[in-house]
Amino acid sequence: MTTIRPGFTEPQPHAQPHPPAPAPRRRLPTGLLLSRSPGEPVQPAAEPLIAAYKATHPAADPAELRRAYAVAERMHRGQMRKSGNPYITHPLAVATILAELGMDRTTLVAALLHDTVEDTAYTLGECRADFGDDVAALVDGVTKLDGDRWGKDRAEAETFRKIVLAGAADLRVLIIKLTDRLHNLRTLGFQPPHKREKIAHRTLDLLIPFADRLGIYVLKREMDDLAFATLDPDAHAATETAVREALTRAPLALGPCAALLRACLAAQRVRAEVKIRPRHLWSVHKSLDGDLDGIRPSEVTRLLVLVDGTDQDCYIALGAVHAALHPFSGRVKDYIALPRFNLYRSLHTVVIGPDGDLLDVIIRTRAMHEVAEYGVIAHIRQADSGKAKVDAVASRSDLPWLARLLAWEADVPSAGFLDSLRTDLAEGTIAVFTPEGVIMPLPQRSTALDFAYALDPETGEHSIGALVNGRLAPLSSEVKVGNVVEILTAPDAAPTADWLGFARTAKARAHIQRYLDGTRDDEDARDGRAAVSAALAEHDLDLLAAEAGGECLSIARDLGYPDVESLYGAVTTGAVPLTELITRFRRTAP
């Protein structure tokens, strides 16, 4: 497993897992731009960051990084981490992780400053003036909303909504957020138990899926294992021990298979490297469902074939693998012809080893391997020859999963946003096809109704059934990988409450709920109007005349409602007492 480690990290607690809480952070007054003057010595703490940056950008000038560090250090001075270390160690560690990933200077500057606007007196305007619009936009994207102003729960939901929207404009916002959480997970032992568990759960539910969606598996694997260690330390320790023991037997058990593959690849004139690749602990724990008895090397490793060649060479390599070791029927997955939603491309197969063990084999080119490890970061690194290219790659709202998320986020109120986001990011995506061959990526267990709303909300709203692979199917039918689905519609069809029982995607549920709410509002308005009309008639007053004369609209606006329909709906719900409303009508009657 590739693990990104910064030049330093805070020590994990041992004898004292919960040190006394440090003094509250104090907000320092801001001043002019805090740049390093010619006579000011270089900050030694920043040098590992500079070295990591220069390793991947040898011709770059690190002066702006030093300047940003000086600002961050000055603004956070006096603030302490739970570990007792100066707070600046956190943004510095985040920036160093990003530098080791090969990220561009703008991202590193923003990472150094990412907590200044939230936790110090440094303002977004000052950040923009000091470091430019791009850095300020990234810092703003990862800055949490004020819980005191918004309310704790609403602030958390709206902060994630804000990150999603900022990430749609520039994926570097999400990358900074992920590395921020990774460093917090590394130092999670200093937090009290309830906070550790909450952070770990939120990581598994929301942030790790974002790492998966961006294809940044080098971050996802470590975050998986750190969250696992927090939430179930006994299972984590047992898995770690069992995996370590099994890996000691891996060379002997799998070495002959790897040698056989190398020989067959050479016979087919495919230049490739064959590696025995360990799986990370959380992956092993999930696949074995915690059953570690008799764990075998084949269960904790994969054989990775790195091809020096083209896509076509990968298919030749697949044939060579199947010639060397018997393939297990139905277990070939082609992510080269049909890439995953996160840019991932490889061939996967399962073969039967000489001792009868099932062996997972992954085949990819070296270029594919770079993307498989680093996802969108690999594309940003490749584009880092120019600012315009980096901006173009980082602005990827065309990614199917992100476009789907943006399609529903505005329709969900704060109270349900995190649950909807969690559902939308749930692990696993399937590819379903339109009759024209267009791929529609959907979460697993999606139904024909979800497919209809994925096409567009109007199709979903008027759907009445589906043809799945040419056969009539109800909207509640689950669609499978590779299904060809055609939606049947009718002009007078409309959503009903029971649709919420089988709509799986957040987009479908949001649109259905909005339609039902609108229908309910119409019904409330009709019922309220009827009640007002009957009550006025008892006092010899005509509602129709009051509506025509404008008295109804005037009363509605006096009570804070934009129109008479909203006023009538408030009568039905009890927000406006009918007796009080009739009194107002009588006062305005001629």
In order of start, what are the domains of the chain with their CATH numbers?
44-216 (1.10.3210.10), 235-374 (3.30.460.10), 428-498 (3.10.20.30), 513-588 (no CATH)
Helix (H) / strand (E) element for 76: namely helix 63-76
pLDDT at residue 35, as a whole number: 41
The burial class, CB within 10 Å (0-12 / 13-18 / 19+), for 467 is middle
What mean pLDDT is predicted for residues 419-439?
A: 80
Check whether 42 has a pLDDT greater than 60. Answer: no
Q: What whole-number distance in Å separates Cα of residue 540 and Cα of residue 555?
A: 19
Q: What whole-number distance in Å separates Cα of residue 197 and Cα of residue 378?
A: 32
Name the band, by pLDDT with cuts 50, 70 and 90, for residue 513. Answer: confident
Helix (H) / strand (E) element for 326: namely strand 326-327
Helix (H) / strand (E) element for 532: namely helix 506-537
Catalytic residue among 47, 73, 104, 118: 118
pLDDT above 70 as % of the chain: 88
Residue written as tokens 């006394």? 20
pLDDT at residue 370, as a whole number: 94
Helix (H) / strand (E) element for 307: namely strand 301-307
What mean pLDDT is predicted for residues 356-370?
A: 95
Least reliable range by pLDDT among 213-217, 357-361, 411-415 = 411-415
**Mean pLDDT highest for which of 42-46, 69-73, 205-209, 441-445?**
69-73
**Mean pLDDT highest for which of 290-294, 366-370, 380-384, 510-514?**
366-370
Q: What is the pLDDT of residues 379-404, one digit of tens each?
A: 888 776 555 556 656 665 557 778 77
What are residue 445's phi and psi, to 5 degrees?
70, 15
pLDDT at residue 149, as a whole number: 65
pLDDT at residue 9, as a whole number: 46
Least reliable range by pLDDT among 39-43, 87-91, 120-124, 465-469 = 39-43
Helix, strand and coil percent figures for the chain, each rounded to 5? 55, 10, 35
Check whether 408 has a pLDDT greater than 80. Answer: no
Helix (H) / strand (E) element for 333: namely strand 333-334
Least reliable range by pLDDT among 262-266, 440-444, 482-486 = 440-444
Q: What is the pLDDT of residues 316-327, one digit of tens each?
A: 999 999 999 999
Helix (H) / strand (E) element for 381: namely helix 376-382
**Mean pLDDT highest for which of 25-34, 138-147, 400-409?**
138-147
What amino acid occupies position 499? W
Residue written as tokens 């009827």? 530
Please name every residue paired with 80 in a beta bridge, in sequence order, or none if there are none.
86
Q: What whole-number distance in Å separates Cα of residue 333 and Cα of residue 317?
A: 14
Least reliable range by pLDDT among 32-41, 102-111, 407-416, 463-472 = 32-41
Give the residue from 309, 311, 299 showing the smallest Cα distance to 346.
311
CB within 8 A of 465, min separation 6: which ones?
Answer: 448, 472, 473, 474, 475, 487, 488
CA dihedral 252, 257, 260, 262 (to 10 degrees): -90
CB within 8 A of 42, min separation 6: which ones?
Answer: 36, 66
Q: What whole-number distance in Å separates Cα of residue 512 and Cα of residue 520?
A: 12
118 labelled catalytic = yes
Tokens in use for 250? 């891996």
Name the band, by pLDDT with cuts 50, 70 and 90, for residue 140. Answer: very high
pLDDT at residue 36, as a whole number: 43
Look over the chain and give the mean of its residue pLDDT values, rounded to a whole number: 86
How many angstroms separate the most distant Cα atoms in the chain? 101
pLDDT above 90 as % of the chain: 54
How long is the chain? 590
Residue 153 backbone class (left: φ over 0; alpha: ψ -120 to 50; beta: rest): alpha
Name the band, by pLDDT with cuts 50, 70 and 90, for residue 256. Answer: very high
pTM (2 d.p.): 0.75
pLDDT at residue 133, as a whole number: 94
Least reliable range by pLDDT among 35-44, 205-214, 473-482, 567-576 = 35-44
Catalytic residue among 119, 158, 391, 419: 119
CA dihedral 215, 219, 224, 225 (to 10 degrees): 150
What mean pLDDT is predicted for residues 408-422?
A: 77
Strands lying side by side in the sheet with 471-473: 471-473, 463-468, 485-489
pLDDT at residue 34, as a whole number: 40
CA atoms within 13 Å, Cβ hemisphere of 69:
25
Check whether 93 has a pLDDT greater than 60. Answer: yes
Positive or negative: CA dihedral 377, 382, 383, 387: positive
